[in-house]
Chain A
Amino acid sequence: EVQLVQSGAEVKKPGESLKISCKGSGYSFTSYWIGWVRQMPGKGLEWMGIIYPGDSDTRYSPSFQGQVTISADKSISTAYLQWSSLKASDTAMYYCARGTRYCTNGVCFFDYWGQGTLVTVSS
């Protein structure tokens, strides 16, 4: 069974750093893209970026380029999303999702999703 299990909820202060994780199981982790999607409270889905764990090829949405860093450790089948300096506007639910078999250069549909990690940034 394919599963993506994300790390738990976080409460942080503005300016702090954070790294959240997404562990894949039940499939070949290195053979599928993993994307990250933001959902701000009461709002829609925003695609942030994507990584191919097999070779760490990483792409960012222009809206998130320079704001976050996506990485992966294929030895433990885990992808990461990190911030160096959080802002209150980063408060959101963050989902990781697996790209389908038919992605093209990181442009994917997403067939399996993690349960989400709620990040709250407040002073």
Chain B
Amino acid sequence: EIVLTQSPATLSLSPGERATLSCRASQSVSSYLAWYQQKPGQAPRLLIYDASNRATGIPARFSGSGSGTDFTLTISSLEPEDFAVYYCQQRSNWPVTFGPGTKVDIK
């Protein structure tokens, strides 16, 4: 099973700042990595798939990069609605696995 590690666990930033979230895989997942956003009391929402492709309706301030074992989600300028928990997920190998999440909270 591929283990995904996310860092940092918590990121405290102010609106307008840039957020950089990391996801590392225990072995290569090629580009088969996605990012999800989850707000309190809501279901997760797909942001990025295949490492760098924005899902339908996702604002351009969200971008993904990386391949192999190291991936990054960047939010170029945080909006108030972006404070949430972010999860990465791989679909390179069976079974699908999620990372533990990074919480982006207001500084």
B34 within 8 A of A: yes
B55 touches A104 (CB 8 A): no
**Partner among B46, B49, B92, B97 whose Cβ is within 8 Å of the Cβ of A47:** B97
B55 touches A47 (CB 8 A): no
Per DSSP, are chain B's interface residues mostly helix, strand or loop, or mixed? loop
Given contacts A62-B1, A109-B49, contact A104 B91 (CB under 8 A): yes
The total of chain B residues at the interface (CB under 8 A) is 24
List, in ascending order, chain B residues with CB within 8 A of A37's CB: 44
B98 touches A113 (CB 8 A): no
B43 touches A62 (CB 8 A): no
Instruction: Give the size category of A's interface with B.
Output: 20 to 34
Q: Which of A45, A59, A108, A111 has the most CB of B within 10 A?
A: A45
Complex Cα distance, B57 from A58, in Å, reads 30
Complex Cα distance, B43 from A100, in Å, reads 16
**Partner among A35, A44, A109 whose Cβ is within 8 Å of the Cβ of B101:** A44
Complex Cα distance, B99 from A45, in Å, reads 8
Question: Nearest 7 A-B pairs (CB), nearest first?
Answer: A113-B43, A45-B98, A109-B34, A47-B96, A61-B95, A107-B91, A109-B49
